[in-house]
Chains A and B, each alone.
Chain A
Amino acid sequence: MNATFLVLSAFLASTVEMVEALTIVLAAGLARGWRSALAGLGAATLALAVAVAALGPALTVIPLSGLRLVVGGLLLVFGLQWLRKAILRASGFKALHDEDAIFARELAEAETAARVERAGVDWYGFTLSFKGVLLEGLEVVFIVLTFGSAQGSIPLAAAGAAGAVVLVAGVGIAVRAPLARVPENAMKFAVGVLLTTFGIFWSAEGAGAHWPGSDAALLGVLAFVVAASLLLVRVLQRERRTRLETIGVEA
């Protein structure tokens, strides 16, 4: 059961991040040329591979209880960031993530930037693509390494992430447009819930607490986090409606 959650979490988180990275690479490629965009993509992928190769084996030698305490705490802080934003988006207090709008903005900025050639590639296109893939990819690396090491199976988490990369890259090459139809906001909500759930579970175990029902308690924690998140969305939606009614705007 935990293995299923592990792969699902890595897959969902990676899909969301790769969709965002694809938008940036597409903007860089269309506005500045594919050579610089693909060079940036390749360089960022190499940097991410080096990070995984360096940190992955190091994490496997740390004792599991200590690892779960640290990893659980990090995942909890990280997951709460995702969940907080997702709840604010779902309740209307934060604008929904719009891949088409982001693509249009990135494209407009890339088209107007000055052209500087370095080592045969357009530097703006290279750095735009490199930074986009590296930053989005770092979150994937973080999730794969933390989930994988705490669960004792980095390859399984990596398989979930690799599946997402192949899927998004394949669809991206096929449609050559931002994947705006991917339900990103719902997926970000799901990732926030899963990261928070695993964060609670592992950090409590790492701190020395024992879950009733052992690993099966993960389902209970998941149900609790889902219910609490939906309740918070409902409460904030009601608050926003009241605010809008107060200032005379129909929600």
Chain B
Amino acid sequence: MRRLRGFGRFWWDFVVGDDWLVAALVIVAIGATAAIAAAHVVAWWLLPFAVLLVLWLSLRRAVARG
């Protein structure tokens, strides 16, 4: 069980890293892009601006944590 938890922890750290909020917001942004595209509305612009916002929020959190 401990090894399984360690294995999961490794992959979590490997992919998600220091800030889980980045992964969560990226999933939300991709989902929103898919929803807009499914409604036949131009959707390419959403992800670049979402990424800028996510990066800014994550940097603020890192700076605040010191």
Contact = CB atoms under 8 A, between A and B. Distances in A.
Given A84-B59, A138-B14, A77 B22 contact: yes
Contacts of A208: 33-34, 37-38, 43
A87 B38 CA distance: 35
Interface residues of B, number: 32
Interface residues of A, number: 38
A206 B26 CA distance: 14
A32 B14 CA distance: 28
B54 to A, nearest CB: 7
B63 A93 contact: yes
A80 B37 contact: no
Given A77-B16, A84-B62, A196 B51 contact: yes
A130 B15 CA distance: 21
B12 to A, nearest CB: 11
Nearest to A69: B30
A203 B25 CA distance: 13
A73 B47 contact: no
Contacts of B62: 84, 88, 93-94
Contacts of A225: 48, 51
Interface of A is mostly: helix
Contact of B43 (A139, A207, A236): A207
Interface in A83-104: 83-84, 87-88, 93-94
Contacts of A228: 51-52, 55
A13 to B, nearest CB: 14
A81 B22 contact: yes
Interface stretch (A21-29, A107-115, A169-177, A209-217): A209-217
A217 B55 contact: no
A224 B30 contact: no
Given A73-B30, A84-B58, A196-B51, A212 B44 contact: yes
Contacts of A229: 55
Interface string B37-51: 110001110111001
Contacts of B30: 69, 72-73, 76, 203-204, 206-207
B58 A73 contact: no
Contacts of B33: 203-204, 207-209
A229 B23 CA distance: 18
A83 B44 contact: no
A94 B58 CA distance: 14
Contact of A78 (B15, B47, B52): B15
B66 to A, nearest CB: 8
Interface of B: 14-19, 22-23, 26-27, 30-31, 33-34, 36-38, 42-44, 46-48, 51-52, 54-56, 58-59, 62-63
Given A80-B26, A84-B19, A204-B47, 4 more contacts: A77-B16, A80-B22, A142-B14, A203-B33
